[in-house]
């Protein structure tokens, strides 16, 4: 319930990209593919927060249905502020709680965009002695790539639209939506503000 006096902010009209049923079917198909090629022994899942939390949970449970039982840990990469500010460096807000040396790792992220996050985290896991790193992303935006990275498995390949829902957010909003939707271009983080106007939601920035 909305506390008295709290403005109830309406959600903007969103263009659905993938329905909850389509996502569920794709996640189960991904689990089939992964289960066929994963080592059975104590596979370590590294899920990147915040955006992958729902995808990682559904994927882990779909894998458990196939008798693949993950040991799940989390890492939170920090913002790098955008192409103009970055040499490509991605830092960590929160690190893993478990060591990865000698482990086969399944690295799970919400979306592969410029590629910097996946590249940096992959390298870090390898430097820490992971036996292998396999990458799995829900969404892949190849047109945005700035570094040469491909995911071993991607759920959906999409155009250059800003996506929310199913864990992905805009300033913390929309993560709870059971489907994936594209934000209208005028609300997306890269939308140019008209002269004298502020951006529709300044909190809405890619991680």
Which one of 17, 121, 164, 177 is in contact with ligand XMP (CB under 6 A)? 164
Closest CB 163 distance from ligand XMP, rounded Å? 4
Q: Dihedrals φ, ψ of 67, to 5°?
A: 70, 25
**Stretches 8-16, 34-42, 67-75, 159-167: which one binds ligand XMP (CB under 6 A)?**
159-167
Tell me if 109 contacts ligand XMP by CB under 6 A: yes
Tell me if 168 contacts ligand XMP by CB under 6 A: yes
Q: Are 75 and 95 in contact (CB under 8 A)?
A: yes
Q: How far apart are CA 55 and CA 28, in angstroms?
A: 11
Tokens of 146: 């700035």
Q: Dihedrals φ, ψ of 205, to 5°?
A: -135, 145
> Which of 109, 110, 113, 169 is an active site residue?
113
Q: Are 96 and 136 in contact (CB under 8 A)?
A: no
Does residue 160 have an active-site annotation? Answer: no
Which one of 51, 60, 75, 122 is in contact with ligand XMP (CB under 6 A)? 51
Q: Tell which residue, 51, 71, 49, has the closest CA to residue 60.
A: 71
- Give the residue numbers annotated as catalytic, written as ranges: 113
Binding site for ligand XMP (CB under 6 A): 51, 109-118, 162-164, 168-169, 206-207
């Amino acid at each position: 319930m909305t506390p008295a006096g709290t403005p109830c902010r309406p959600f903007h009209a969103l263009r659905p990209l993938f329905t909850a049923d389509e996502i569920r079917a794709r996640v189960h198909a991904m689990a089939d593919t992964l289960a066929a090629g994963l080592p059975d022994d104590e596979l370590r899942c590294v899920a990147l927060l915040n955006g992958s939390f729902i995808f990682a949970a559904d994927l882990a449970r779909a894998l458990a249905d196939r008798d693949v039982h993950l040991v799940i840990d989390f890492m939170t990469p920090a913002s790098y502020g955008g192409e103009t500010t970055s040499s490509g460096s991605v830092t960590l807000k929160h690190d893993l709680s478990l060591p990865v040396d000698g482990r086969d790792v399944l690295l799970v992220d919400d979306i592969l965009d410029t590629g910097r996050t996946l590249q940096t985290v992959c390298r870090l896991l390898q430097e820490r002695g992971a036996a292998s790193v396999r990458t799995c992303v829900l969404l892949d935006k190849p047109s945005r790539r700035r570094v040469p990275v491909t995911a071993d498995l991607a759920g959906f390949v999409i155009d250059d639209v800003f996506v929310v829902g199913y864990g992905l957010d805009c300033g913390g909003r929309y993560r709870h939506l059971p489907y994936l939707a594209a934000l209208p271009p005028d609300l997306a983080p890269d939308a140019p503000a008209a002269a004298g106007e502020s951006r529709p939601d300044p909190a809405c920035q890619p991680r």
